[in-house]
């Protein structure tokens, strides 16, 4: 994993922009992990016996299922689900069930109630994903879900494959020997579900409004969940009220349940409204709901009018402040959000943020009491998809256009400002391009202390951040590209390659709509580094060259000079070392002339790296020495240490072991202090070669072993460097003939 300074040159350009995404040295190989036995051979004689090692225990056990409450009259369905699990288990197969039915009928509640009983039978953990069939920005990407699953199972983020096929293969390998429970909630299609099915004898439940015959070929059992019967619905209403009114007015209670069509969501919402009015008779609710039901009949979609009518009545009785918060939260582009979003949409000029927060939390409590919100996690909330649609509809009908626009902007600014704070926490030395906020106030979220907490916040909010980026194309183009820009540290360190690609594609389009060439260059260079990581080297080169042309057209000599390093890196990855050398040589000359001496030192570092690859050790030593001097004088201790590694390797290639040891030992000391795992591993790797050169086999084995451990820590277990270290260690550890 590269610290950001290694991968980017930054700073304001003459035209007001800056270039980012600079990757130095060409060492950013795509990483992954090989799980299970692997055999590679040329010609093989005789028998081969391969025995898989027992699966190691997970480094942590995920327990992701949301909590569940009591459900009413689903004994038959629970029994059916359990019988199908037992039958599959006896046959040695996995269990796959799909629960389908109307919105609000209780599919998720049923699945959770069943899966929570299986903790003893499935002790290896629980995985959960909302597949977003009703999400405003479209269904969840299976590749993203797989990435979250394999990280929950202990795979470092940097080792998560970039493609869906590779990710699915890794996921199946990880789960092959496990007994997990998995809930895939609100699925849109069998194609979306299929890559997310675990291996082994795990239990998977899928919920969807649609039946999924396509999963039959995967051994899926289907359960169609019907609305509650009349008696069960009355029981649920009585449980919600818990005050004797159902017993006192049994006929009215039955009429109310009939108007709710037996949908548990509608019954609970109606019950919550009655509970808030202990002196109101059920008859009054029945009369009002019947009128609302008739009014919404023509809007019905698969019976949803029963829920809509109930929600309309609930909404009408909310206090004005709670109703306004409900409408404004309906503007939120994602399905889940934290307290800070509610604070942001209610913020107003001149009001202390603490007072706004207290007001927002009180109103959130009212929405929870009305069953309009549910808890997603501590201090986090979510709408049922029907409730979210209802809130958005009320915002369109009842919230003035100007207020809707202001609310949307405060939500966008909240995410942009907090993502930028997280960016600064991860990389405090980076000079971020200007951020444009609305009239405010701008509310940020407290994500904790330190870089890891900042990255965790960005990762947790990534679905919302991506939704804001997409929404920004239409409403706030500056937010679209600036938010993509702020996500750089997350993309770089945790390798969300598909989101990296999408965010910069959207950001570039937004910058083009604005005619902002500095922003376009930022999106091209940062996005190009992402394309290098995806292995799309030619595409990255096209993006870097387009940025170079734009800088040249703008008369931005510094920006243009910085692209020389980018283009050199792309050519180096493609294997065109002559072209890479030509670009790096120009960068080493032109960058200091434009005032960026440090960047010129980085260009010389890249030249040293290419020279080493060509076994031109004297040239490599000269370039690395020049880079080391420049970077040390610039205060860039990290890249100075990287130059020292190259210098040590060059001296070793020349047989000059004393200076090689001096430079490598100095680099190792600096890099250990910075906890830079990958470059520390490279220093140890070189010191192992030095020890081997001196015939100190024991020390060489020690150095290679430590280097391999650090390559793994840095997410580079599959890199070319790691393979070379492993080959050297294996050779030194192999038995010799007597």
| 462 vs 143: CA distance, rounded Å | 14
Superfamily of domain 75-224: P-loop containing nucleotide triphosphate hydrolases (3.40.50.300)
What backbone phi and psi angles, to 5 degrees, belong to 336? -135, 145
What is the C-alpha separation between 200 and 217, in angstroms, rounded?
17
pLDDT of residue 429: 58
How confident is the model at residue 209, as a pLDDT? 79
More confidently predicted of 144 and 309: 144
Q: What is the pLDDT of residues 237-283, one digit of tens each?
A: 998 888 889 999 999 999 988 888 788 888 888 888 888 888 888 88
pLDDT for res 304: 58
> Any idea what the Cα angle at residue 668 is, between residues 664 and 670, rounded to 5°?
120
pLDDT attached to residue 177: 87
Least confident span in 131-135, 161-165, 384-388, 644-648: 384-388
Average pLDDT over residues 201-207: 93
Over residues 442-484, the pLDDT tens digits come to: 999 999 888 889 989 999 999 999 999 999 888 999 999 999 9
Q: How far apart are alpha carbons 305 and 352 in whole angstroms?
A: 41
> Quick one: pLDDT band at residue 342, thresholds 50, 70, 90?
very high
Instruction: Tell which residue, 315, 318, 309, has the closest CA to residue 286.
Output: 309
User: Which segments of the chain belong to CATH 3.40.50.300?
Assistant: 75-224
Q: Which of 133, 130, 373, 103 is nearest to 264 (CA)?
A: 103
Q: What torsion, rounded to 10 degrees, do the Cα atoms 112, 117, 122, 127 define?
A: 20
Please tell me the distance from the alpha carbon of residue 619 to that of residue 581, in angstroms, as a whole number: 12
Instruction: Name the residue among 420, 532, 666, 461 with its Cα closest to residue 8.
Output: 532
- Give the per-residue pLDDT at 280: 81
Nearest to 443 by CA among 345, 530, 335, 314: 345
Residue 204, strand partner residues: 96, 182
- Could you report the per-residue pLDDT of 424-434, keeping only the tens digit for each? 988 765 667 88
Q: How many helices (H) and strands (E) does the chain have?
A: 33, 8
Measured distance CA(25)–CA(589) in Å, rounded: 17
CA 117 – CA 676 distance, rounded (Å): 44
pLDDT at residue 213, as a whole number: 81
pLDDT at residue 50 greater than cutoff 80: no
Count CB-CB contacts under 10 A for residue 437. Answer: 19
Whether pLDDT at 60 is above 90 = no
- Which residue shows structure tokens 């496990």? 178
The region of weakest confidence among 118-127, 374-383, 610-619, 632-641 is: 374-383
Contact 99, 162 (CB under 8 A): no
Task: Give the CB-side neighbour count of residue 247, counting CA atoms within 13 A.
Answer: 4
d(CA 261, CA 686): 72
Average pLDDT over residues 510-532: 95
72-98 pLDDT, tens digit each: 888 899 999 999 899 888 888 889 999
| Residue 12 pLDDT | 31
Share of residues in the chain with pLDDT > 70 (%)? 88
How large is the average pLDDT for residues 135-139?
78
Helix locations, 116-205, DSSP H: 142-152, 164-175, 190-193
- pLDDT tens figures, 177-187: 899 999 999 89
Q: β-strand 374-377 against 380-382: which pairing, if any?
A: antiparallel
Region 292-297: mean pLDDT is 53
In three-state secondary structure terms, 302 is coil
- The whole-number pLDDT of residue 698 equals 93
Maximum average pLDDT range among 150-164, 197-211, 315-329, 381-395: 315-329
In sequence order, the 6+-apart residues with CB closer than 8 A to the CB of 697 are: 691, 732
Instruction: Identify the CA nearest to 339 among candidates 305, 322, 363.
Output: 363
Mean pLDDT for the chain overall: 85
Residue bearing the bigger pLDDT, 418 or 734: 418
Residue 539: predicted pLDDT: 97
pLDDT grade, residue 675 (50/70/90)? low
Which of 522, 436, 428 lies closest to 479 in space, CA to CA? 436
- pLDDT band, residue 408 (cuts 50/70/90): very high
Residues 6+ apart with CB under 8 A from 414: 340, 341, 344, 442, 443, 444, 445
pLDDT at 714: 67
Q: Is residue 647 within 8 Å of 611, Cβ to Cβ?
A: no
What per-residue confidence (pLDDT) applies to 585?
97
pLDDT of residue 39: 39
């Amino acid at each position: 994993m590269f610290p950001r300074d290694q991968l980017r040159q930054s700073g304001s350009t003459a035209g007001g922009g800056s270039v980012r995404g600079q990757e130095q040295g060409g060492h950013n190989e795509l990483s992954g992990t090989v799980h299970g036995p692997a055999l590679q051979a040329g010609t093989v004689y005789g028998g081969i016996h391969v025995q898989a090692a027992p699966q190691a225990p997970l480094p942590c056990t995920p327990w992701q299922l949301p909590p569940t409450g009591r459900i009413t009259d689903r004994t038959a369905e629970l029994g059916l689900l359990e019988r199908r699990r037992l039958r599959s288990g006896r046959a040695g197969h996995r269990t796959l069930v799909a629960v389908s039915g109307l919105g609000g009928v209780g599919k998720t509640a049923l699945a959770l109630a069943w899966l929570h009983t299986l903790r003893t039978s499935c002790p290896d953990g629980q995985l959960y994903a909302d597949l977003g069939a009703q999400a405003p920005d479209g269904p969840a990407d299976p590749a993203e879900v797989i990435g979250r699953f394999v990280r929950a199972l202990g795979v470092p983020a940097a080792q998560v494959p970039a493609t869906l096929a590779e990710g699915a293969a890794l996921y199946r390998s990880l789960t092959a020997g496990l007994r997990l429970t998995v809930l895939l909630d609100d699925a849109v299609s069998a194609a979306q579900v299929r890559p997310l099915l675990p291996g082994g004898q795990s239990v998977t439940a899928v919920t969807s409004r649609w039946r999924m015959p396509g999963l039959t070929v995967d051994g899926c059992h289907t359960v169609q969940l019907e609305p509650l019967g009349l008696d069960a619905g009355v029981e649920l209403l009585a449980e919600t009220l818990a005050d004797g009114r159902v017993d006192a007015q049994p006929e009215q209670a039955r009429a109310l349940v009939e108007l709710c069509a037996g949908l548990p969501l509608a019954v609970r919402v109606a019950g919550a409204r009655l509970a808030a009015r202990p002196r109101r008779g059920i008859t009054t609710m029945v009369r009002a709901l019947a009128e609302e039901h008739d009014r919404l009949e023509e809007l019905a979609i698969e019976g949803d009018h029963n829920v809509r009518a109930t929600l309309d009545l609930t909404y009408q009785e909310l206090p004005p402040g709670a109703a306004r918060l409900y409408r404004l939260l309906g503007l939120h582009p994602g399905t889940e959000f934290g307290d800070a979003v509610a604070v942001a949409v209610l913020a107003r000029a001149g009001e202390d943020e603490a007072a706004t927060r207290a007001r927002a939390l009180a109103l959130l409590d009212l929405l929870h009491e009305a069953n309009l919100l549910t808890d997603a996690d501590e201090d986090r909330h979510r709408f049922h998809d029907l409730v979210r649609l209802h809130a958005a509809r009320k915002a369109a009908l009842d919230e003035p256009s100007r207020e809707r626009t202001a609310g949307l902007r405060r939500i966008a600014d909240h995410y942009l400002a907090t993502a930028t704070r997280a960016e600064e926490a991860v990389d405090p030395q980076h000079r971020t391009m200007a951020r444009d906020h609305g009239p405010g106030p701008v509310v940020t979220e407290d994500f904790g202390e330190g870089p890891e907490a900042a990255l965790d916040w960005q990762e947790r909010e990534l679905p919302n951040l991506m939704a804001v980026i997409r929404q920004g194309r239409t409403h706030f183009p500056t937010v679209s590209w600036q938010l993509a820009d702020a996500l750089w540290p997350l993309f770089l360190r945790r390798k969300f390659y598909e989101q990296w690609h999408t965010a910069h594609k959207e950001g570039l389009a937004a910058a083009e709509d604005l005619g902002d060439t500095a922003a376009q260059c930022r999106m091209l260079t940062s996005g190009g580094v992402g394309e290098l990581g995806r292995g799309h080297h030619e595409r990255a080169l096209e993006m870097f060259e387009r940025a170079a042309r734009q800088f040249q057209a703008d008369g931005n000599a510094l920006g243009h000079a910085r692209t020389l390093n980018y283009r050199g890196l792309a050519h180096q990855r493609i294997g065109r070392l002559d072209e890479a050398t030509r670009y790096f040589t120009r960068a080493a000359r032109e960058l200091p002339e434009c005032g960026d001496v440090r960047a010129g030192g980085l260009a010389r570092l890249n030249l040293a790296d290419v020279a080493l690859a060509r076994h031109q050790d004297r040239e490599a030593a000269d370039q690395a020495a020049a880079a080391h001097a420049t970077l040390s004088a610039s205060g860039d201790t990290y890249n100075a240490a990287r130059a020292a590694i190259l210098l040590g390797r060059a001296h070793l290639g020349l047989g000059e072991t004393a200076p090689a040891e001096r430079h490598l030992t100095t680099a190792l000391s600096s890099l250990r202090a910075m906890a830079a795992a990958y470059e520390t591993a490279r220093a140890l790797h070189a010191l192992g070669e030095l020890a081997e050169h001196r015939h100190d086999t024991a020390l060489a084995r020690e150095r290679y072993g430590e280097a391999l451990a650090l390559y793994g820590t840095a997410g580079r277990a599959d890199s070319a460097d790691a393979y070379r270290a492993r080959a050297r260690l294996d050779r030194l550890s192999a038995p010799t003939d007597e």
